[in-house]
């Protein structure tokens, strides 16, 4: 942990081991190092800039998310010229989904660069995707759109984006079930039920009803997660009826 913290103190790429290790991943020499330091700093590090403003990767994550969406949209527009707006929107959502970005961020090993006062085991899977978006934001602010687009194309699109495979990938079972019910003119409701779990963390329990019949039940740490989980179970229960 001390090594990770100490490498942030050097201000030049020439004698900064943090940047030296990051350069092979980036494929270029960073110009403004502090963007990358911030992109890989967790709020637990309690870092502040020269003006006393706290910083971490979250602000750059917002920038990276926007830039990534633009680059992916452009790629899809050029790669699938016959596709409709709806298709392009759906495909972009699949590529920039949290699950997809988490896996890419994990492949990059970005969490190993992160400055934090917490043990890495404390972080969720989403941290990998958050760091990836923050890194993209840092590249954009440091090098501009063209270099950032080149990085995304080389490091994300080329090795990780397979349009044909993604066409069959389901990113939201809830959306799928809702659309199917609307198409078949069926009523769908998610109903809260008493949670009987023994975990210390509070859970939300729901059951999914289609035409007043309970099709699936689920529980999770949030209503959103519980509904998605129940929808997934409903999908597999009704898979033979649902036209994908």
Active-site residue (options: 37, 61, 65, 228): 65
Q: Are 39 and 105 in contact (CB under 8 A)?
A: no
Tell me if residue 99 is catalytic.
Answer: no
CA–CA separation, 205 and 183 (whole Å): 27
Cα-to-chain-centroid distance, residue 113: 18
- If residue 58 lies in a helix (H) or strand (E), which one and from where to where? helix 58-79
Q: Which residue has the tokens 């809830």?
A: 174
Q: Kindly write down the DSSP assignment for every residue of 25-48, as one continuous string.
A: HHTS--SSHHHHHHHTB-GGG-EE
CA–CA separation, 130 and 132 (whole Å): 5
Helices of type H across 80-210: 85-95, 98-108, 126-143, 145-152, 158-160, 163-167, 173-183
Nearest to 69 by CA among 144, 137, 166: 137
Q: At what angle do helices 98-108 and 126-143 cross, to 10 degrees?
A: 80
Tell me if residue 243 is catalytic.
Answer: no
Active-site residue (options: 133, 142, 149, 227): 133
Q: Are 99 and 124 in contact (CB under 8 A)?
A: no
Question: Phi/psi of residue 185, each to 5°?
Answer: 55, 45
Residues that are catalytic? 65, 133
């Amino acid at each position: 942990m001390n090594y990770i913290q100490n490498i942030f103190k050097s201000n030049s790429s020439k004698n900064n081991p943090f940047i030296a290790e990051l350069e092979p991943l980036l494929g270029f020499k960073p110009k403004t190092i502090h963007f990358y330091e911030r992109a890989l700093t967790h709020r637990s590090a309690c870092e502040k800039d020269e003006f006393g403003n706290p910083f971490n990767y979250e602000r750059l994550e917002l920038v990276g998310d926007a830039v990534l969406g633009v680059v992916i949209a452009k790629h899809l527009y050029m790669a699938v010229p016959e596709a409709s707006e709806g298709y392009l929107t759906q495909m972009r959502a699949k590529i920039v989904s949290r699950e997809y970005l988490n896996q890419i961020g994990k492949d990059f090993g970005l969490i190993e660069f992160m400055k934090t006062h917490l043990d890495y085991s404390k972080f969720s899977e989403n941290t990998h995707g958050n760091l990836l978006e923050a890194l993209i934001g840092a590249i954009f602010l440091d090098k501009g759109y063209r270099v950032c687009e080149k990085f995304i194309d080389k490091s994300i699109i080329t090795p990780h984006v397979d349009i044909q495979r993604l066409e069959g990938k389901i990113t939201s079972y809830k959306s799928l079930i809702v659309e199917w019910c609307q198409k078949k003119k069926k009523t769908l409701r998610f109903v809260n039920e008493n949670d009987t779990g023994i975990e210390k963390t509070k859970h939300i329990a729901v059951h999914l009803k289609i035409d007043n019949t309970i099709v699936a039940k689920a529980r999770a740490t949030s209503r959103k997660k519980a509904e998605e989980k129940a929808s997934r179970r409903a999908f597999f229960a009704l898979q033979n009826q649902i036209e994908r």
